[in-house]
Amino acid sequence: MRQDMSKYTDTDLKTWNYLFEHQYSNIHEKVCWEYLDCLQQLSEALNPHEIPDFKKLNSLLYLKTGWTIHIVPGLIEAVDFFDHLKNKRFCSSTWLRSEDELHYIEEPDMFHDIFGHIPLFMNQDYADFAQRIGELAINWRNDEHKISQIQRLYWFTIEFGVIRRKGKIKSYGAGIISSIQEVNKVNNNIGDFNKYDITEILNRPFNIDTVQPAYYVISSFSELYKSLDTVELLFSKAA
């Protein structure tokens, strides 16, 4: 699949501009500095004034961390998704939500995928963590239970992760960063904030259809990567 820039309408651009401006102005004191720094590094290709061209983003991403964006029509099978992560490809759709879905959308669109996820792939520690999650999943691709556990780890980190900075909780998960409701909720300390416990995360189901009730707090992105040693040990013992 490829991104056809000619198919985007003036309405799409208006929607992108609104979403970007509205969310960017809201997140400054609420998300981790790494995200903001990475977003700035991508500003020539990721900004409110133009719908992002994946070719431009890929050039910047690949130069910094070796990652690229892989276009998908929508949600794909978990193992296929993790295989892309293993190979330093983050899956994104190219469609944008309609004007009547500005504040809530059931399936991830380009704003969630690109604004929410892509900036932190400019951070080497974060990018290495995502790739290793992919490697781990592919190593256990024939074990449905372990794939389910890896999905939980992905959910509570890459989608809904938070980090403690100078005593304050900051968001880094894309599901939070791309949602006004979620990022404001975390900023107001509404929810169950738990110490980052890999065993607990692997065994905690999640619901994709509600505002998230629980979060796991890390102290650094290097902590994420190191925690995968524990996952590998637990999986090997259970084999």
pLDDT tens-digit series, residues 58-112: 999 999 999 999 999 888 999 999 999 999 999 999 999 988 777 777 788 999 9
* Predicted pLDDT of residue 106: 74
The stretch 143-160 carries a mean pLDDT of: 98
Strands in the chain per DSSP E: 68-71, 89-92, 162-165, 168-171, 192-195, 214-218
5-238 CATH:
1.10.800.10
The stretch 28-36 carries a mean pLDDT of: 96
- The closest alpha carbon to 19, from 51, 42, 43, belongs to 51
Above pLDDT 70, what percent of the chain? Answer: 100
Sign of the CA dihedral with 126 first, then 115, 100, and 162 last? positive
Residue 49 DSSP code = T
Give long-range contacts, CB 8 A cutoff, 24+ apart: 91-98.
Answer: 92/54, 92/117, 92/118, 94/1, 94/3, 94/4, 94/54, 96/8, 96/12, 96/15, 96/16, 96/51, 97/15, 97/19, 98/15
* Predicted pLDDT of residue 75: 85
The stretch 41-51 carries a mean pLDDT of: 98
Query: Helix 78-86 crosses helix 144-154 at what angle (to 10 degrees)?
Result: 60
Mean pLDDT value across the chain? 95
pLDDT tens-digit series, residues 171-194: 999 999 999 999 999 999 999 999
| pLDDT for 10 beyond 80 | yes
C-alpha 206/C-alpha 212 separation (Å) is 8
* Predicted pLDDT of residue 233: 94
* Predicted pLDDT of residue 239: 65
C-alpha 194/C-alpha 93 separation (Å) is 32
Cβ proximity of 175 and 191 under 8 Å:
no
- The closest alpha carbon to 238, from 113, 149, 130, 159, belongs to 149
How many residues comprise the chain? Answer: 239
Domain ranges of the chain: 5-238
C-alpha 72/C-alpha 93 separation (Å) is 5
pTM: 0.95
Q: CA-based angle 77:78:80, to the nearest 5?
A: 70
* Predicted pLDDT of residue 98: 87
C-alpha 199/C-alpha 225 separation (Å) is 15
* Predicted pLDDT of residue 212: 92
| pLDDT for 238 beyond 80 | no
Helix, strand, or coil here: 28? Answer: coil
pLDDT tens-digit series, residues 115-148: 999 999 999 999 999 999 999 999 999 999 999 9
Band (pLDDT 50/70/90 cuts) for residue 210 is: confident
